[in-house]
Structure 1
Amino acid sequence: MTFMVAVLAAIALGIITGVPGLRLASWSLGMVTFFMVLLVPDIVQLLSPFTGGSAGLAGIPPPSLFGHDFDTESLYILVIAVTIVVIALLRNYIVSRHGTALKVIKQSPDLARSLGYSVPRMKLTAYVISAFPAGAAGCLFAYDHSVVTPESFSFSLTVAILAASIIGGSSSIYGAVFGATVMVIGPLRAGVFQEFALVFFGLLLVVGGLFLTNGAANLLDKAFRRIFVKNDLMPDVREALQNPKTLPQLTGCRLRVSGLNKNFNGNQALKNVHFVAEPGQIIALIGPNGSGKTTLLNAISGFVRPDSGEIRVGDSPLTRLSAHHIARRGVARTFQTPLIPRGLTVAEVVASARYRSEATSVISGMLTLPDTRGAIRRDRDTAISLLSVMGVVELADVLADDLPLGTRRIVEVARALASSPSLLLLDEPASGLDEVEVHVLADVVRRLRDAGATIVIVEHNFEMITSVADRIDVLHLGHVIASGSANQVRNNPAVIESYLGRAARQRAENDRGSDRSWNPR
């Protein structure tokens, strides 16, 4: 009973400390925990009738289970058993779909929202899960020492735990065990260590944070892959290479944008924007830098809330919805810079888009129940199928962040398709690609259109746009100044002037009778 109370109390504290940390990340998030450690001694003093004040609580009796009292030996066995169970549960959680989702959030909360993740909810869930082993450890510590004082959990201990995380690597449960082992055994080997412990831990945090990326676990993982993991393809990858998949029919929905306006501190980014995109159609948005193209995509996908106007996909109004709710209604997008989480294979990156499409519980993930195993299998099948369609299936088990830019953009498109979207938004997908990669990407986009997708693409590469777009809308200073085919847009005086100025417009009019081509880029 005491054990359960301790765990529940830790979970409650995890929720309390987690709420202010929902908008924080990285080191800022860690500081929330530090502040709590600094507050505990004062709270203990304020509640001294219950906590014993600075003297703490002494004479804690040994634990008992069903009337059986634990002696020293059986208590150590209990500690080892609880440790093994906790490590096994957390290991399953890290390698599950939930662990992959947390890596996505760590890489970019915006990416997570574009895939339909509720970032605050998942962060709070992670706080609660991390509080469970903390409460269990605190309870077992009290039983082992028979006394608990404020000095038992000092600031130095918190820094030591953080140092252990940096040494071992916070992205691996085995790295955490390794780091904790080093930080426990190391001080015991040197009697004078305690005097300089805080200085040593501080130096370790600085050096490790600068030079030891993801800790010893990352180094061991790279060595393991180099020595033991060969270039042999998995059976499902070999099968996909022998029998390439075809793109399934996509169910696009009509996108209608009406009277959209957005003002940023006096800068009118969007002015009464209207346009429609139909299924099986590619609508290209072009315009000079600052014309409002990305703002329009952000408004459609929920990252920017318009001041007025209406956005509809099919029969669903999206104007006032948040980004992750819009993603769950079938809107998928890519970004100007490909957002690829570190430490995930290409197949895992693509499968991460299915996290909300087929939800499984955290408990199921920790226990690897049949529904979780089935979801993981279907995630893999979908990823392999889409990578086969994109022509990069042989890279399924390669770390995605090691890929060149062009391949990462193809992987991003595959990830967007994994959620079976009704609307696909592509934000400058050809940026940074060479000519060959642009042709490959253009072929992919055309095949998506032919399969029935509704596609809106923002791009500066006019040659690519003219090869794929069914209609081009030109934005300038936040409003649409021209709409039509490539030839209509190319020869539109307002478009020429917005791109190249009034003098260029005069030259274009003089040359209109010639065969000279015009590229607004």
Structure 2
Amino acid sequence: MQVWRALRAVPGWIFPLAAGLVVLILPVLGADMATTRQIQLACILALVVSGLNLSLGYAGELALGQAAMYAAGAYTAGLLSQAGHTDILVQLAAAGAVALLVGIVTGIPGLRLGSWSLAMTSFFLVLLVPDVLAVFGGNTGGRNGLTGMAPPTLFGVELETDGFYYLVVVVVIGWFAVMRNLVTSRHGIAFRTLKQSPVLASSQGVSVFRMKLSGYAIGAFPAGLAGALFANTDLFISPEAFGFTFATAVLAACILGGAASVYGALIGAAVMQFGPNQSTAFQEYALLVYGGFLIAGGVLLGGGLTRLFRAGGRRLDRAAGLGSAPPARTDTGEVDVPRVDGAPLVVEGVRKAFGGNQALDGVDLRAEPGSVTALIGPNGSGKTTLLNMISGFYRCDAGRVVLGDTELQKMTSGRVARAGVTRTFQTPNIPEHVTVLEAVAAGRYSMDRASMASAVLRLPRFRKVAHADVVEAERALELVGMAHLRNEIATSLPLGMRRMLEVARSVVAAPRMLLFDEVASGLDEDEIERLGDVIRRLRSAGATVVLVEHNFRLVLDLADEIVVLAQGKVIASGPPEQVQRHPRVLREYLGVEAGDEDALLDEVNG
């Protein structure tokens, strides 16, 4: 166990880098040509699979178009070679750019149409590859394949067999370093959030369409690199290499290795290349074998081979006493909430109908900075619908929603979030496979912007923003009493703690307005007390707080103003002492008959 403790103290990226360097020097260690060729082909396949991992495993978009991008990269390199441009760096740059362009052009319509459209668009793209090559047969060689390529060169020097092997491995190491830096950054968490729920992603200021397109297009880039390397492996390109069978092989390797894993692509590609591809009769049963791998990886393993490795690592962690949380700190008295620039919310005459159901009918509401406005009412009265209208998830049929000087009613949910509106959800919405700290830090995605390029290159701007994300996330966790859980997997927490995590995530961005949707549901008494303390601190800091809640005692304790909805209309509004005695509120919301008001109010007020 001491050895395991020492290994866990080593940065995680050291081990794959060391493995990559060992693979790099295999020719020096005496590996024969047959072995190095298989490794070379496995590396090329891993590049293609990694693109699918990014778009499917992280961004949640099923697409088989990597085979078409692979073909685009291969033919770009082949045509450049025929034209006398044999420098492999030029070919790699051009192939990657062409594949990226194909990804953007084909991704836009597929993503615009939504649902399964991208999967279908990319599927038909793969089926069209042979026909497109045949149409341009004068340049591509058609169905006979592309020949006449010259050996690749590097800075004017022709690459021998071993030299080309080194180049392939270096390109793969470089790409996986890029991918690792991307998915471990705030953008990687945004991809995971998008996969979990586009609604959640947009509520954090993520542009859903742009993020989906980025995941798909960036995933096309390594396929283009792989195509250029493949074209120079045998100096011949056959259109059969990019068909549906290959697309299925890529999907099988992705699922088998683990789609939501950086290095799952390497594992899946190695299994595919050194396993079934070694059989001389494999092509006859290829689709059957790939189908078996898909079932094994997706159903039996439920997350690929990397899931087994992670599970083994967690068992060793427990055996070594690692990862256990220290005792909880319930005292949040030392945590300061920075001053918040709250803004008044004005809702005027908002109407919203779903078919024949009038969910909201002329609703008015005003919430001031430095105050808590409670929105109460029976189930189905329109409370969450109104929050969705304010958040930009629904468009108003009529009326206005204004925050400060900003009209929200025509904005997308992402723009509303970037305008300073955060919220929680009735059912806690948390992405999988992220820690508590990462889940909370994700709430700052629309703040202190750092580009994907800066994340990949680990530029000073990225490091500054990443440090700020951690500092503010830790402050928010301390505020809600969950700092001791910072390294736990967020989805493993019980319901009450997941609700408090959502509160921390909504607070971390220092928003102008917070929308809490039944956040006390499922909390125990200590957690409710902590929640009340957090909301009071936010109010004192100047935030505008709108609270939807069924816990009437908590509402009376926190609210400065109460608005009561019933059947989509406001039936009462005013300070708590006035609303709690309103006859219609007592009858429709609390179910109290005339004459029983005093006994109920004595019970509610303790």
Give the structure 2 partner of residue 317 of structure 1.
407
**AA partner of residue 440 (structure 1):** R
* Partner SS, residue 454 of structure 2: helix
**Counterparts of 1:168 and 1:344 in 2: how far apart (Å)?**
19
Provide the C-alpha distance between the structure 2 equivalents of 1:164 and 1:97, rounded to a whole number of angstroms: 27
Where 1:152 maps in the other structure, the secondary structure is helix
- Separation in 1, partners of 2:550, 2:275: 57
- Further displaced range: 151-160 or 488-497: 488-497
Q: Which residue number corresponds to residue 306 of structure 1?
A: 396
Query: What CA distance in whole angstroms lies between the structure 2 residues aligned with 1:497 and 1:169?
Result: 55
Shift of 1:214: 2.5
- The separation in 1 between residues aligned to 2:398 and 2:254, in whole angstroms, is 48
* TM-score of the aligned structures, taking structure 1 as reference length: 0.92
Q: 1:337 aligns with which of 417, 424, 427?
A: 427
Q: For 1:91, give the aligned amino acid.
A: R
Aligned to 2:434, what secondary structure does the other structure show? coil
- State, as a whole percentage, how many aligned pairs show the same letter: 47
- What is the TM-score of this pair, normalised by structure 2? 0.80
Q: Give 1:218 shift.
A: 2.5
Q: 1:169 to 1:517 in 2, by over 3 A?
A: same
Distance verdict in 2 for CA 1:512–1:382, change over 3 Å: closer
Give the conservation status (yes or no) of the 8 Å contact 2:439–2:505. Answer: yes
Give the superposition deviation at 1:165.
0.9
Deviates more, 1:487-496 or 1:270-279: 487-496
Matches within 5 A, 1:18-29: 18-22=107-111, 29=118
Q: Shift of the alpha carbon at 1:110? A: 0.8
Provide the secondary structure at the position in 1 that maps to 2:594: helix
Is the CA contact (8 Å cut-off) linking 2:392 and 2:413 kept in structure 1? yes
Q: How does 1:392-431 map to 2 (within 5 A)?
A: 392-431=482-521
Note the C-alpha offset of 1:58.
1.6
Match in the other structure for 2:348: 258
Q: Does 1:190 align with 2:279?
A: yes
Structure 2 counterpart SS, 1:92:
helix
Deviations 1:128-162 (A, max 9, x none): 21111111110110111211122011211111111
CA contact (8 A) 1:93 1:366 kept: yes
Whole-Å separation in 2 of the counterparts to 1:120 and 1:512: 52
Stretch of structure 1 that moved more, 423-432 or 444-453: 444-453
Letter in 1 for 2:191: L
1:46 offset after TM fit, Å? Answer: 2.1
Asked if the contact 2:519/2:549 (under 8 Å) is kept, the reply is: yes
CA separation of 1:482/1:176 partners in 2, compared to 1, >3 Å: closer, same or farther? Answer: same
Secondary structure in structure 2 of the residue aligned to 1:270: strand
Shift of 1:510: 3.3
2:552 aligned residue (462, 474, 491): 462
How far, CA to CA, are the matches of 1:11 and 1:479 in structure 2?
A: 51
**Native 8 Å contact 1:288 1:476 kept in 2:** yes
Query: C-alpha deviations, 1:62-106, integer Å up to 9, x for none?
Result: 112332222222222211111111111111111112111111111
Q: Decide whether the 8 Å contact of 1:233 with 1:394 is kept in 2.
A: no
Q: Distance in 2 between matches of 1:28 and 1:227?
A: 43
Residue by residue over 1:234-275, the C-alpha shift from the partner in whole angstroms, topping out at 9 and shown as x without a partner, is 999999999943222323211111111112223221111111
Q: 1:28 to 1:405 in 2, by over 3 A?
A: farther
Equivalent residue in structure 1 for 2:132, among 36, 43, 54? 43
CA distance in 1, matches of 2:303, 2:534: 35
The answer as to whether partners of 1:261 and 1:307 remain within 8 angstroms in 2 is: yes
Secondary structure of 1:21 counterpart: helix
**Residues 258-267 or 87-96, more deviating:** 258-267
Equivalent residues of 1:260, 1:270 under 8 A apart: yes
Q: CA 1:225–1:67 in 2, change beyond 3 Å: closer, same or farther?
A: same
Flag the 1:69–1:445 CA change in 2: closer, same or farther, 3 A.
same
Aligned to 2:200: 111
User: Residue 253 and residue 344 in structure 1: after superposition, are their counterparts in 2 closer, same or farther (change >3 A)?
Assistant: same
C-alpha separation in 1, matches of 2:600 and 2:451: 63
Does residue 442 of the first structure (1) align with residue 527 of the second (2)? no
**1:469 Cα shift?**
1.6
Indicate which of 155, 158, 174 corresponds to 2:263: 174
**Partner letter of residue 489 of structure 2?**
L
1:253 and 1:188 map into 2 onto residues whose CA distance is: 63
Q: Who is 1:347 aligned against?
A: 437
Aligned partner letter, 1:438: I
| 1:279/1:516 CA distance change after superposition, 3 Å | closer
Which residue, 74, 91, 102 being the options, matches 2:180?
A: 91
CA contact (8 A) 1:63 1:69 kept: yes
1:63-74 matches, cutoff 5 A: 63-74=152-163
| CA distance 1:465–1:211, shift in 2 (3 Å) | farther
Mean Cα deviation higher: 231-240 or 136-145: 231-240
How far off its partner does 1:28 sit?
A: 6.2
Q: May I ask how many residue pairs the two structures share in their alignment?
A: 514
In structure 2, relative to structure 1, the CA distance for the partners of 1:170 and 1:233 (3 Å cut) is closer
Q: Write out per-residue CA displacement over residues 21-40 of structure 1, whole angstroms, 9 at most, x where no aligned residue.
A: 32578976444432221111
Aligned to 2:151: 62
**In the TM superposition, what whole-angstrom CA distance separates every residue of 1:400-420 from its partner, at most 9, and x where no partner exists?**
111111111111111111111
Q: Is 1:11 matched up with 2:100?
A: yes
Report the CA distance shift for 1:510/1:189 in structure 2 as closer, same or farther (over 3 A). same
Identify which range, 205-214 or 416-425, moves more after superposition.
205-214
Q: Which amino acid aligns with 2:435?
A: T
Paired residue type of 2:520: A
Query: Structure 2 vs 1, CA of residues 470 and 156 (structure 1 numbering), >3 Å: closer, same or farther?
Result: same
Q: 8 Å contact 1:115–1:353 — kept in the other structure?
A: yes
1:286 is aligned to 2:371: no
> Which residue does 1:214 correspond to in 2?
303
Asked if structure 2 preserves the Cα contact closer than 8 Å seen for 1:490 and 1:518, the reply is no
SS at match of 1:58: coil
Q: In structure 2, what is the Cα distance between the partners aligned to 1:313 and 1:144?
A: 60
Q: Is the 8 A contact 1:187 1:194 kept in 2?
A: no
Q: Is the 8 A contact 1:237 1:384 kept in 2?
A: no
- Are 1:378 and 2:463 counterparts? no
Equivalents in 1 of 2:446, 2:321: separation in Å? Answer: 32
Cα 1:80–1:487 change in 2 (3 A) is: same
Report if the CA contact (8 A) 1:17-1:32 is conserved. yes
Contact 1:37 1:155 in 2 (8 A): yes
Amino acid at match of 1:74: G
Write the deviation string for residues 292-334 of structure 1: whole angstroms up to 9, x where unpaired: 1111101111111102211111122212111111111111111
Q: Which AA in structure 2 matches 1:139?
A: A
Give the letter for the 1:265 counterpart: G
**CA positional deviation for 1:186:** 0.4
